[in-house]
Structure 1
């Protein structure tokens, strides 16, 4: 989206930070890609749902009605965030759990010799479920490889492994390890031309970018609210008509209505209340007539703030001896992966933690990209930004790394 002059949002990070009680502990958080801190409104929404009358969804008792209203509100909020239809929003314990469930469900429609495309850029949650499901039915797995020199996954790399037997392409909207944002729409168009469905992991992207399921060309779009200031659960969005075609394994008495047929067991109503609160908090940082408009302008403002800090960090790292930044893609989130000459990234992680700066080291379940980068399963130091990170945090990070390197 291109913002008009009247739509430009002034981003006040100090005012944003005042909503996050966890920041009172004094830590500088560069661990957002692993899970963000939450604003007070989210905690209050979770607690409010738990202390009010609550029961399994229905329309008879006050508790039943409260649960039903929480679910309906959460579907609408997620739909606004992702540009989706509320009737196609599915909730689960995590993105990983949802993806395993959908991999099994979709694999039931595959036959031996069918093909599934995964990428070496992806988090294992968008790789392993498809490999396991393909093996179970005799389908073939084909790999689209990213270029470790540029950290880019091109549409051509995906096109090279598509065929008339391709049934699904699984790809990330943004790498949780490198921040790379592949050309998802171009990839989706190629996949659809081949007759395949497209499953997009937006767990990392949803924390930084305004998203729209149709603009991405995604048939399935998954994310996790705890990465964008909410509680721990998972979300999938798809067209209701597509979900109607799928028959998941479920309990006999459970409903066959979409999207509920994909939600196994009782939903965590308090977490869904927190999810709505997180989305409303983000929308409150933007402008516009609708919540969707406010979310788009807010995410654009957050992105500009984070991008400015990312450039500061990149400049600071470039001035430190022996530091290599592996996040090089032209389009990327504010997420930097760094290694150190003759120093273990885990030691940098611990050194910074002792100084109140949280920037973890590892592969973060992104095993395939870590291995392709030559980092094995150990990974590197990941520096990830979030809406509440400010310049003082960046100063502490760069100062801590300079001290670690003896500069």
Structure 2
């Protein structure tokens, strides 16, 4: 190929931004044209969104300007929304214009998976972006203000969180921490506030260590969270939820954290998908497409036991390192690397000063786990932005 190959990266989430930074660091000038496409001009730290959603931190602390991270002499940044992937002629259709590619990296992130539960899409809120968490925060505050005008409507002070995976558990921990502050600000009796965490699986944090799960649930119960485990939501309405048991819980606030599926554009582009996600080859390429890599929530990577790994920030970052290596190898005619996920530990926060985690084979909880969570956050900031970003954003 006499002309310079064109690499297009769709999405500036964990997978997209780390891939771009790897290419920026290791590609020579004029070795490839790299374009990063994202609908916002910032990268947001998804694992931090539960805090601004609850109102325990500012939304701006969860985002980083993309142009502050990339070298614009090596990476072209296009602020736009992709609307179609045309694999047959190697083009991406944007809201305004098109982009051609020789190599494509799909890191578009996921969309809420509602499992066909009626009303969830229409009536539940989702912790998915800076804008969505800003809306959730303002919505929660508005319920307190509204209650002061309509004190008979106690459902305004009932908050339902569907799903007790990592996002759901971390969010209810922050939400429970925020409630005393809101009760004081609006002069509301704390006894009127109710927080429900509803999970269809037999346990909270499915797949996590049972001893640590029990510790987490006890911490959150002591903060005022009511759990309904092994209980499915049958329907979500403007007035709350109906459970599979027949119980109705009246609430003006339902926040759904119960699952993620891949981006809708993958199915529309003709890829074979499962819940909107592509089961990638060992080298992270899409089956039948030697020039397309798929990362993060859009990909399925199988464990040695034959089960798909849950889509996490950690796996996306590791995928991005291999994806960057393989793109450079393809351009230079070298061998590609197989992706092997190496778990480095998992930590879930439970609100102020509390967390649980597994690092290696060691179980940690309480203040030690909370400190480890901060270290993990700082490490990511260092990876994408070095010491300056750690000093700027390191307070979380």
TM-score normalized with structure 2 length? 0.33
- Identify which of structures 1 and 2 has the higher relative contact order when contacts are C-alpha pairs closer than 8 Å and 6+ apart: 1
Structure with the larger helix share? 1
TM-score normalized with structure 1 length? 0.32
